[in-house]
Structure 1
Amino acid sequence: MFDTLSDRLGNVFDRLKGRGALSENDVREAMREIRIALLEADVALPVVRRFIDTVTEKAIGSEVLKSVTPGQQVVKIVDDELTAMLGGGEDADPADRELNFAAKPPVVIMMVGLQGSGKTTTTAKLGKLIREKHGKKALMASLDVNRPAAQEQLKVLGEQVEVATLPIIEGQQPVDIARRAMESAKLQAADVLLLDTAGRLHVDEALMAEMKAIASVSAPTEVLLVVDSLTGQDAVNVAQSFTGEVPLTGVVLTRMDGDARGGAALSMRYVTGKPIKFAGTGEKLDAIEAFDPKRVAGRILGMGDVVSLVEKAAETIKQDEAEALAKKMAKGQFDLEDLRMQLKQMQNMGGLGMLAGMLPGMKKAKAAMAASNMDDKVLVHMDAIIGSMTPKERKNPALLNAKRKKRVAAGSGTQVQEVNKVLKMHQEMSRAMKQIKKMGGLKGLGALFGGSGMPGMGSGGGMGGMPGLGAPGAKGPGVDPSTLPPDLQEMLKKK
C-alpha cells in the first residue's frame, strides 16, 4: 500500500546519493519534496510538520554535510524518524505492541471501530493467533445486534478458526451479552475473551455510550481500535474520536495489502498516542501479523524486510519436504517435480510481488515486473504446464520432444514457447545445483540454521534455486552472518 510514497521517496534519495557533497539548500529542497510526498500520501498535516522539522534539523547538521556519504546519512535519518513516527523510536517499548495476558483470566480484549472496518474478521484472526501462537484458550462473543447476521458471521468464522463462540440468544442487548460472555468464559476456563462490538457508519453519542457501558461491565485489559487503512484521512478522524471516549490500548490496521496511499498508517501512532499492534494483510484468516515499525519503515524506503521474509518461509514451508529436497540438491539432482514445489512455496509466501517487496534493492525489479505484466499468474501458468506433464516427463525432462511439448501446451492452455521457458528455467537451476555440489554441497546453510537449512530460503528448499546464506568457515557459497542486518542476526541466534 506504500508503493506510491515509496516511489516518490526513492526518487528523492536517488538524487541525494548521486551527489558527492550536500549543501543546506540541497537538504531543504529534498525535505520540500518529501513533505509533498507525505501530504499526497494522506499523512495528517501535524504529523508531516513534526516529521519534516525533526529530519531537517538533524540533516543539516555538520556531521551529515561533512560526511563521506551525506546522501546515505540523510536516508538513515529519514529511516530513523519514519520508524519513530510509526511507534518504534528509541523510547518505545516493544512490549507495548504485544497483547497483555498478565491480567487474571479471562483476559478481555474489546474490539471497537466503525462499521465495515473489519472488526469481526479481525476478531476471528486474533482468536486463531491466540490459540495457535500463544497456546491459549479463547472465547469469542459478538455484541453487534444492529448489523444483520453479524453474530452468525462470527459463529461461522469461529468454526473455521476452531475457536469457541458464545451461543446466540435472540433479542439480548450488548451489555447483557457482555455479562453472559464473562460468565461463560469463567465456566469454560477460557484464558481470553474477545468481544466484537457493534460499529456505526459514523461516530455518534449512542455508539460511544454503548462502548462505555460494555467496558464498564467487562473491564477489558485491551481495547483495540480496528481501522480500515483504505479510509485515508478519515481513519485519523475516527481515531481521534475514539481516543477521547474509550480507553484505547492499541490499534489494528486492516487491509494493509490494499492500494491506499498509506497516510492512515503513518498518522495513527501520532494521533492516538497508542501503538499499532497488528496489521491485516489479506482476506485469509491467518493474514494478520504483528506490526513492526522498523520493518514497515524499511519497506517504505525500499530497504526490504529480510527478517519477515525468513519468518514467512519458516511458517509456510514444510520441514520434511525441504529436507528431502535439500538431500536431492546435495546430490545435484533437481527435476520438474522439485521445480513445481518451489513454485508452490513462492505462492504460499505471497507471490512474486510480496517477495520482491521484502528483498533489499528489489524495488526497481518489482516495478519492472509490474511494467511487463509479470504477476503471480506466471506462477500459476508454470504450475499448470508442469501439471500437464506425465510423471515420467517430470522426472526426465529430456523426454519432452516437439510433439510432447505441443500436448503439454494444449493441456495447460499455454503456448509451446512458455513450455520451453519452463524447461530452460529448470535446466539453469539444475546446472546451479550441480555447480553447488562441486563446490562442497549445502553445508553452509545447514550450519547457520542448525539443520538442513531454512526451508524456502536457498539450499533447504531454495528460493528459485538460490544458494542461500552460509556460515563462517562453511564450504560452498555463503555470506558471513555478521554482515546481515542486526534483527536477522538476533533471530538466527534464537533458531
Structure 2
Amino acid sequence: MFDNLSERLERSFKILKGEGKITEINVAETLKDVRRALLDADVNYKVAKNFTDTVKEKALGQNVLTAVKPSQLMVKIVHDELTKLMGGDTAEIELKNRPAVILMSGLQGSGKTTFSGKLARMLKMKKNRKPLLVACDVYRPAAIEQLKVLGQQVEVPVYSEPESKNPVQIALNAIQEAKAKGYDLVIVDTAGRLAIDEQMMNEIEAIKNAINPDETLFVVDAMTGQDAVNTAREFNERLDFNGVVLTKLDGDTRGGAALSIRTVVNKPIKFVGTGEKLDAVDQFHPARMADRILGMGDIVSLVERAQEQYDEEEAKRLQKKIQKNQFDFNDFLTQIQQIKKMGNLKELASMIPGVGKAIKDIDIDDNAFKSIEAIIYSMTPQERTHPEILNGSRRTRIAKGSGTNIQEVNRLLKQFDQTRKMMKMVTGSKMAGMMQKMQKMKK
C-alpha cells in the first residue's frame, strides 16, 4: 500500500538532510521532488500543485527550533497536510433509521458486491447490527448467486427476487421484509454502471429516491488511478453520495486516488478494502494513512486489531498456566490462530514503525504458520499437553506425519521452549498491568 510513494517521498526528504536550516532554495528542490512523486503516484495535477504550494508556504514560515532538523520539520508539515488532503478527521458512517439503509453504487468490476458482504460482516461484528443484504443487480449473470455465497460466508441473509427485473421494487420490498423480520440494517447491492450510460444512471437515481438511504456509498477500484477521481465526480453530480469506498488498495496500485478524491468531490473516504478476505476492510483514518505513507507505521490500527481478538477470561486463564509453567502446545496453537485472525501477516508487520521499509521486498506468505500447525496437529493430545515427553522416536513420527523433517520439529520445540521461558519471566505484575491497560483501551 503506497510503497512506491513512500519510497519516493523518503528520497525527497533526504535533500534536506544535513542542511542547517530551511531556505527557499532547498525547500523548492525538495518539494519539486515531492510533486513528482505525487504525480507518479497518479495524484491529480492540480491537487499535487496546491499541496506542495501549501507545504512550501508553511515550511518557509516556520521558525525552526535548534532541536528540530529541517528534514524532520518537513516530514511533520507534509504529514499534517497529507492528513488534511485526505479529509482530516475520520468520517463515520451515519445509520440513524431503523432499519438503516445503505445504497452501493459504482462501476462494473469495482468490487461492490464483495464489499457489501464485507461491510455486512463488519457492522454485524463491531456494531452488533442485524443486517440484510439485498440483490438488486438484475443484469450481471450470477450476481445474485455471488451475493448469496457471500451472505452464507458472513452468516447474513440475502433478499432477492430472481424473476424480477425491477431493482427499485426489489429494494422497496426488501426494506419491508427487514421491518417485518426485525433486521435493523439493509445493504442494497446494485448493478455496476458507466457514468455515460444515461439509462443506468437514471435507474440508480430512481432507486435512491425511492428508498431514501441513510448512506449512499460510491465504490471505486483504487487501481483505476486518476480515472477513479473523474468517475467519482460524475457519479457525485447525479447521486450526491455520502462517502467513497476504495477497494483493492492492497494491490499493485499507485494509490493517488486516495490523495485526490477527497479534494475533487469534497466527499470523505469512509472505507478501504485491503485484501480478498472478508475481514480485509478498514474504516479510513486520514492521519493513520499519512503515517503509513511516510513510513511511520500504524500502531493504533495494530492495537485495535489485537483488541478484537483479546479475550479477558482467556488471558487470565493463560496467565495462570504460564505462572505454573503449564503453557503447552494447545495454548501455542490458540495464539497462532488469534494472530492469523488479525489479518495479512505482511500488512500487520508493516504497521510497526520502521518495519514496513525493511520488509518491503520480503514475501511474507499467509501460510507462514502452516508447517508449525502441521507439526502440532501431528502430536497426540498427551504430547501437546506435556511437550517434555517428546523423545527422539516421537519426534521422528511427528516429522513424518506433518510432512516436515526432524530438523524443523527440533527447531519448533526449541523455539517453544524459549517462548515458554520468556513468558514465564514477564508474568506477574507486568502481565497484569498490560491486561489492565488493554481493558482500559477497550473502554
Task: Give the 3 Å change call, closer, same or farther, for CA 298–130 of structure 1 in structure 2.
Answer: same
What is the alpha-carbon root mean square deviation over aligned residues? 2.7
Partner of 2:213: 220
Preserved CA contact (<8 Å) 2:10 2:294: yes
The one of 405, 412, 419 equivalent to 1:422 is 412
Preserved CA contact (<8 Å) 1:21 1:65: no
Preserved CA contact (<8 Å) 1:330 1:441: no
Task: Give the 3 Å change call, closer, same or farther, for CA 320–67 of structure 1 in structure 2.
Answer: closer
Instruction: Report SS of the residue matched to 1:42.
Output: coil
- Tell me how far apart the structure 2 counterparts of residues 421 and 51 of structure 1 sit (CA, whole Å): 52
The one of 244, 248, 252 equivalent to 1:251 is 244
Q: Does 1:410 align with 2:400?
A: yes
Partner of 2:36: 36
Partner of 2:369: 379
Q: Deviations over 1:3-51 (max 9, x none)?
A: 2222222343456456554443333222222222222212221221121
Q: Deviations over 1:161-186 (max 9, x none)?
A: 34343341514322332333344344
Identity level (%): 50
- Tell me how far apart the structure 2 counterparts of residues 15 and 444 of structure 1 sit (CA, whole Å): 44
Partner of 1:47: 47
- Tell me how far apart the structure 1 counterparts of residues 81 and 263 of structure 2 sit (CA, whole Å): 12
- Tell me how far apart the structure 2 counterparts of residues 287 and 363 of structure 1 sit (CA, whole Å): 18
- Tell me how far apart the structure 2 counterparts of residues 15 and 22 of structure 1 sit (CA, whole Å): 11
1:114 Cα deviation (Å)?
Answer: 0.7
Structure of greater relative contact order (alpha carbons < 8 Å, 6+ residues apart): 2
Partner of 2:435: 446
- Tell me how far apart the structure 2 counterparts of residues 116 and 263 of structure 1 sit (CA, whole Å): 19
Instruction: Report SS of the residue matched to 2:74.
Output: helix
Task: Give the 3 Å change call, closer, same or farther, for CA 386–299 of structure 1 in structure 2.
Answer: same
- Tell me how far apart the structure 2 counterparts of residues 149 and 321 of structure 1 sit (CA, whole Å): 43
User: How many residues are treated as equivalent by the alignment?
Assistant: 443
Instruction: Report SS of the residue matched to 1:377.
Output: coil
Partner of 1:315: 308
- Tell me how far apart the structure 1 counterparts of residues 12 and 347 of structure 2 sit (CA, whole Å): 24
- Tell me how far apart the structure 2 counterparts of residues 14 and 404 of structure 1 sit (CA, whole Å): 56
Partner of 1:306: 299
1:275 Cα deviation (Å)?
Answer: 0.8
Preserved CA contact (<8 Å) 2:15 2:29: no
Partner of 1:359: 352
Preserved CA contact (<8 Å) 2:217 2:244: yes
Preserved CA contact (<8 Å) 1:86 1:269: yes
Superposed structure 1 runs of 4+ greater than 6 Å apart:
none
- Segments of 5+ residues of structure 1 without an aligned counterpart are 451-491
TM-score between the two structures when normalised by the length of structure 2: 0.89
Q: Deviations over 1:126-179 (max 9, x none)?
A: 233333333344333222111112223323433443434334151432233233
Q: Does 1:71 align with 2:71?
A: yes
Instruction: Report SS of the residue matched to 1:64.
Output: coil
1:424 Cα deviation (Å)?
Answer: 3.0
Partner of 2:95: 101
1:335 Cα deviation (Å)?
Answer: 3.4
Q: Does 1:192 align with 2:185?
A: yes
The one of 379, 392, 401 equivalent to 1:389 is 379
Task: Give the 3 Å change call, closer, same or farther, for CA 111–416 of structure 1 in structure 2.
Answer: same
AA matched with 1:36: R
AA matched with 1:421: R
1:363 Cα deviation (Å)?
Answer: 2.2
- Tell me how far apart the structure 1 counterparts of residues 344 and 209 of structure 2 sit (CA, whole Å): 45
The one of 250, 266, 269 equivalent to 1:273 is 266
AA matched with 2:25: N
Task: Tell me whether 285-294 or 77-86 shows the greater mean CA deviation.
Answer: 285-294
Task: Give the 3 Å change call, closer, same or farther, for CA 68–305 of structure 1 in structure 2.
Answer: closer
Instruction: Report SS of the residue matched to 1:252.
Output: strand
Task: Give the 3 Å change call, closer, same or farther, for CA 424–114 of structure 1 in structure 2.
Answer: same
